[in-house]
């Protein structure tokens, strides 16, 4: 109760200062302000700039001193620099205004670059402009912004007071920019496909539902862009990619957020082997360009992401990690019996391929720490992938696992319109009556395939998970500016 009262009093003090500025004829929420340098530019070019006048702007993050001289730390997007103010240099009125600044206030400063007696690079304030009065105290006044839930809800405050958080998001931007550079250099073109779709497709996920009033049409936020990107292959765009949001109305965890960023790309006349090459080279390129190394530390584990990555079929991986050989099974009953020996409870009524996949996910996936491509997924769980030429019960598909997490998924894309129709129809037939109202067979996509889609490789990479890996972030919420949160009445 006493703390709440003290906070209330602090808020009132700031509002009183706001009114005092207005009485002086000063706009406490000033307008356009032109700077000459960033804080980093001043610091990095100090020798060239010493004793010259610069103009900078940012947020007051610390203030100390009194009497006729005082110091403050000014933070902008590039970092912090020290300000030095003297009553003799500023004049009594402006100096008093400097002393009355609160932590969090946004100001503009004109002054000379110099080094203090203690060797600190600084700017001596010659002119001060108030740009935005902060009406709330920054959280370090109240033991720091440690509450993880509050950090996600008030990311704007988190970014102010936690410099390591800003660094993560600056690195996120750089990683995505680097991915684009890699793909552009490989001859891919970036495209955009619909976010609202009349039929959700490209992944087996529960969609968000919306409604278009004018068209009197139910639409779905996309779960994946796959079927539209393949239409572009049909149209002759042989190398396409999209980095954008997908939406899945499913659970939230350290790896899952209802809206997330995916890279999807498609290359004509390629297959899933080409996609493995692109995947490992792209990830290694991003790490080298952004971190300067391909040996990274993630949650206390050293991971080598330099190519080449290990490649195992799903059945090889199961045998390697459990000793069980599902090659000896040919029916669902035999596979279920073997799963039971491994103490894996499988979904009733599942096909052989479903059972094998469940065993892999429960017993093998948690052990895959170093990069490994798991290939040849059962056809039952891969309705959009091409069957393997030697074994038609599996597909030319892989998933990349690093630190026991799926990071990428890719196929040799199914381009046989008759096989595709059969698989989509069979997939639709086993859905519940409620699901059948949503997941219709996409006839336009099948029509596009009938015009002829070239053999192709397709790849999806979870951008958020990749950034988690490269920034050593334990949760997907740590790499999303505004993760989805449960509504809280108190904000």
Predicted confidence (pLDDT) per residue in 114-142, tens digit = 999 999 999 999 999 999 999 999 886 44
303 shares a domain with 178? yes
3-state secondary structure of 7: helix
240 shares a domain with 121? no
Per-residue model confidence as pLDDT tens digits over 426-455: 888 878 888 887 888 899 999 999 999 999
Q: Kindly report whether the global pTM for this prediction surpasses the value 0.95.
A: no
195 shares a domain with 101? no
- For 341, other C-beta atoms within 10 Å of its C-beta total 10
215 shares a domain with 78? no
Q: Supply the DSSP string of 426-443, one letter for each residue.
A: HHHHTS-HHHHTT----H
- As a whole number, the mean pLDDT across the chain is 94
Does 252 reside within a domain? yes
199 shares a domain with 120? no
Asked if pLDDT for residue 490 goes beyond 80, the answer is: no
130 shares a domain with 216? no
What number of CA atoms fall less than 13 Å from residue 458's CA on the CB side? 27
Per-residue model confidence as pLDDT tens digits over 22-52: 999 999 999 999 999 999 999 999 999 999 9
Does 35 reside within a domain? yes
Does 27 reside within a domain? yes
Better-predicted residue by pLDDT, 144 or 358: 358
Rounded Cα distance, 465 and 459, in Å: 15
Per-residue model confidence as pLDDT tens digits over 329-387: 999 999 999 999 999 999 999 999 999 999 999 999 999 999 999 999 999 999 888 99
Q: In the prediction, which pLDDT does 481 show?
A: 95
Rounded Cα distance, 448 and 417, in Å: 9
Of 343, 367, 413, 148, the C-alpha closest to 254 is: 148
Does 168 reside within a domain? yes
Asked if pLDDT for residue 489 goes beyond 90, the answer is: no
Q: Residue 69: left (phi > 0), alpha (psi -120 to 50), or beta?
A: beta
Q: In the prediction, which pLDDT does 432 show?
A: 80
In CATH, what number is assigned to the domain containing residue 276? Answer: 3.30.930.10
**What are the C-alpha distances in Å from 429 to residues 375, 395, 487?**
27, 21, 37
Domain's final residue, options 104, 137, 170: 137
**Do 221 and 213 contact (CB within 8 A), yes or no?**
no
Q: In the prediction, which pLDDT does 66 show?
A: 74
**Phi then psi dihedrals of residue 488, to 5 deg:** -130, 125
Does 148 reside within a domain? no
Q: In the prediction, which pLDDT does 146 show?
A: 65
| Stretch (H or E) spanning 408 | strand 405-412
Token readout for 186 is 């490989």
User: Which residue stretches of 92-212 are H helix?
Assistant: 92-99, 148-153, 155-161, 163-185
Asked if pLDDT for residue 197 goes beyond 60, the answer is: yes
382 shares a domain with 474? yes
Does 37 reside within a domain? yes
The position carrying tokens 């139910």 is 218
Q: In the prediction, which pLDDT does 141 show?
A: 47
3-state secondary structure of 310: strand
Does 169 reside within a domain? yes
The boundaries of the domain holding residue 448 are 161-309+371-479
434 shares a domain with 394? yes
Domain's final residue, options 122, 137, 152: 137
Per-residue model confidence as pLDDT tens digits over 252-301: 888 899 999 999 999 999 999 999 999 999 999 999 999 999 999 999 99
Of 435, 476, 461, the C-alpha closest to 206 is: 435
Asked if pLDDT for residue 491 goes beyond 70, the answer is: no
Better-predicted residue by pLDDT, 229 or 252: 229
Q: How many domains, the chain?
A: 2
**Do 115 and 122 contact (CB within 8 A), yes or no?**
yes
Asked if pLDDT for residue 205 goes beyond 90, the answer is: no
63 shares a domain with 10? yes
Rounded Cα distance, 334 and 49, in Å: 77
Residues in the chain: 491
Angle between helices 352-359 and 314-322 (to 10 degrees): 50
- For 476, other C-beta atoms within 10 Å of its C-beta total 20
Asked if pLDDT for residue 475 goes beyond 90, the answer is: yes
Does 453 reside within a domain? yes
Token readout for 224 is 């994946």
Asked if pLDDT for residue 143 goes beyond 50, the answer is: no
Per-residue model confidence as pLDDT tens digits over 337-351: 999 999 999 999 999
92 shares a domain with 184? no
Q: In the prediction, which pLDDT does 142 show?
A: 41
Q: In the prediction, which pLDDT does 203 show?
A: 78
In CATH, what number is assigned to the domain containing residue 32? Answer: 2.40.50.140
Handedness of CA 366, 388, 355, 328 (dihedral sign): negative
**Phi then psi dihedrals of residue 309, to 5 deg:** -90, 155
**What are the C-alpha distances in Å from 355 to residues 164, 204, 315, 350, 395?**
44, 17, 12, 6, 16
Asked if pLDDT for residue 3 goes beyond 70, the answer is: no
């Amino acid at each position: 109760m006493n703390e709440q009262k003290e906070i209330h009093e602090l808020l009132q003090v700031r509002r009183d200062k706001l009114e005092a500025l207005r009485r002086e004829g000063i706009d406490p929420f000033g307008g356009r302000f032109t700077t000459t340098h960033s804080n980093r530019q001043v610091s990095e070019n100090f020798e060239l700039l010493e004793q010259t006048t610069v103009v900078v702007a940012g947020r007051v993050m610390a203030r100390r001193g009194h009497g006729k001289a005082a110091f403050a730390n000014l933070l902008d997007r590039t970092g912090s620099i020290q300000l030095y103010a003297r009553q003799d240099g500023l004049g009594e009125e402006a100096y008093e205004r400097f002393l009355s600044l609160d932590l969090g206030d946004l100001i503009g400063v004109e002054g000379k670059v110099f080094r203090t007696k203690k060797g600190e690079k600084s700017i001596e304030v010659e002119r001060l402009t108030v740009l935005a009065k902060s009406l709330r105290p920054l959280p370090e006044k109240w033991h720091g912004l440690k509450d993880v839930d509050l950090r996600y809800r008030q990311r704007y405050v988190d970014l102010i007071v936690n410099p390591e958080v800003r660094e993560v998001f600056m690195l996120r931007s750089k990683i995505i920019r680097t991915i684009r550079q890699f793909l552009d250099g490989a001859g891919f073109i970036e495209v955009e496909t619909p976010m609202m779709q009349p039929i959700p497709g490209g992944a087996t996920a529960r969609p968000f539902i919306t409604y278009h009033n004018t068209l009197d049409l139910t639409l779905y936020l996309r779960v994946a862009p796959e079927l539209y990107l393949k239409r572009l292959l049909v149209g002759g765009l042989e190398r396409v990619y999209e980095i954008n949001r997908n939406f899945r109305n499913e659970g939230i965890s350290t790896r899952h957020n209802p809206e997330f960023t995916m890279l999807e790309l498609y290359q004509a006349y390629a297959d899933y082997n080409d996609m493995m090459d692109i995947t490992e080279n792209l990830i290694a390129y991003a790490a080298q360009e952004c971190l300067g190394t391909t040996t990274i530390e993630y949650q206390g584990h050293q991971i080598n992401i330099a190519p080449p990555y290990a490649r195992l079929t799903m059945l090889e991986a199961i045998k390697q990690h459990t000793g069980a050989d599902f090659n000896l099974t040919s029916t669902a009953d035999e596979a279920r019996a073997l799963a039971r020996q491994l103490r894996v409870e499988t979904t009733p009524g599942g096909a052989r391929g479903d059972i094998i996949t469940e065993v892999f996910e429960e017993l093998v996936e948690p052990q895959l720490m170093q990069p490994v491509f798991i290939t040849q997924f059962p056809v039952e769980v891969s309705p959009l992938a091409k069957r393997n030429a030697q074994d038609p019960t599996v597909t030319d598909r892989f998933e990349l696992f690093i630190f026991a997490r799926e990071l990428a998924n890719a196929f040799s894309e199914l381009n046989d319109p008759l096989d595709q129709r059969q698989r989509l129809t069979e997939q639709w037939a086993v859905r519940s009556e409620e699901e059948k109202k949503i997941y219709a067979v996409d006839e336009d996509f099948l029509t596009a395939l009938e015009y002829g889609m070239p053999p192709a490789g397709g790849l999806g990479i979870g951008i958020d998970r990749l950034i988690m890996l490269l920034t050593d972030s334990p949760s997907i919420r740590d790499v999303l500016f505004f993760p989805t949160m449960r509504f809280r009445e108190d904000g």
